[in-house]
Amino acid sequence: MFSKVQRKKAYVENEEEYFSYFELEGADKSEPLIFFHATGLNAETYLNLLEKIHLKLDGNKTIIAFDQRGHGITNLQADPKKLTSWDQYADDAEVFLEKINISSAIFFGHSMGSIVAAEVAKRNKLKISNLIMLDPVLFYDPYTSLFSELKNKFITLRSNTKVLGAAKRRDKFDSFSQAMSHYEGRSMFKTWPSISLEHYLSGGLEEEGPILKLSCNPVWEAKTFETVSFKTYRTLNALNLPILILRAKHFSTFSSKGVNYLNKKQNFSVSEVEGSHFFPIENTEDTKNLIQKFISSNHV
């Protein structure tokens, strides 16, 4: 409805549900960059960054960004009761990439999206040459991941405050401008440029009768947070490809223990970027420069 880009649809088997995605076409379509967004956001949120990366790569690479289940304009069924792990997102990504005939690619993603990208790469059904993870959700100690997982499940069983809190969050508006006014300068959006907030709403608002509402159900978003993966270090250990991890300088979800652990491995490169967990939105200049440098150095 409000999208700033030309949207495409990749239908699943029943021909009623589909993934929504867009492409920034490049001269080389053989190995596109596939982008995976973060929890609660959508592909279009990152349009500012994606366009800059596309230009920085001289328009040579095609970039494809898609909305994951329960997010953006993708209309796959999203029942929070059925979401038990992030494997659901990885399963979905495999279906999506098969539907658009992708056999080889470079993966990059933000937060939850980067974890999903890593899991899909590990499954080895596609030829993935490089993986770029933007502040991945690796807050736990790599040496005690099993304990962290059990602790998280215990806390989740004791308290449902994340779901309750998300359910109370305002997600309905009379107009686009009202939504912009409500979110601008608030909470995680404080540090966002207005254009990125506009892109977030353009890719994430839908009509419901006379009003507009966020397409990502707050309860689905909260359930995604609760089902966070604790197996990613095992996943990363299984990958034998160049991996770049960009870590936020402030409020990162990537622990210092995790940085030290992965820095010891030859195929990993870890750099810090000025900004918060949302630096791919706040600091597009440094982010696109580091991504371009990494891709160019691995594709001589």
**154 lies in some domain:** yes
- Is 16 inside any structural domain? yes
Whole-number Cα distances in Å, 118 to 8, 13, 17, 216, 274: 24, 25, 25, 23, 24
Strand order in the sheet with 104-110: 8-11, 18-24, 61-66, 28-36, 104-110, 127-134, 243-248, 268-273
Position 131 scores a pLDDT of: 98
Per the domain annotation, does 287 fall within a domain?
yes
pLDDT at 148: 45
Classify residue 31: in a domain, yes or no: yes
> What contacts 24+ positions apart, CB below 8 Å, involve 120-126?
120/90, 120/93, 120/94, 121/239, 121/241, 122/235, 122/238, 122/239, 123/90, 123/94, 125/94, 126/97, 126/102
The answer to whether residue 2 is domain-embedded is no
Residue 244 is assigned to a structural domain of this protein = yes
pTM, two decimals, is: 0.93
The number of domains in the chain is 1
Residue 156 has pLDDT above 90, yes or no: no
Say if 209 falls within a structural domain: yes
CATH number, domain containing residue 121: 3.40.50.1820
Note down the domain range covering 208.
Answer: 8-298
Residue 170's pLDDT band (cuts 50, 70, 90): confident
What local confidence, expressed as pLDDT, does residue 149 receive?
46
Edge to edge, the sheet with strand 205-208 lists 172-173, 211-214, 205-208
Determine, yes or no, domain membership for 3. Answer: no
Tens of pLDDT along 239-264? 999 999 999 999 999 999 999 999 99
Tell me the per-residue pLDDT of 84-119, one tens digit each, with 9 for 90 and over: 999 999 999 999 999 999 999 999 999 999 999 999
Q: Is 276 helix (H, G, I), strand (E, B) or coil?
A: coil
pLDDT for the residue numbered 230:
87
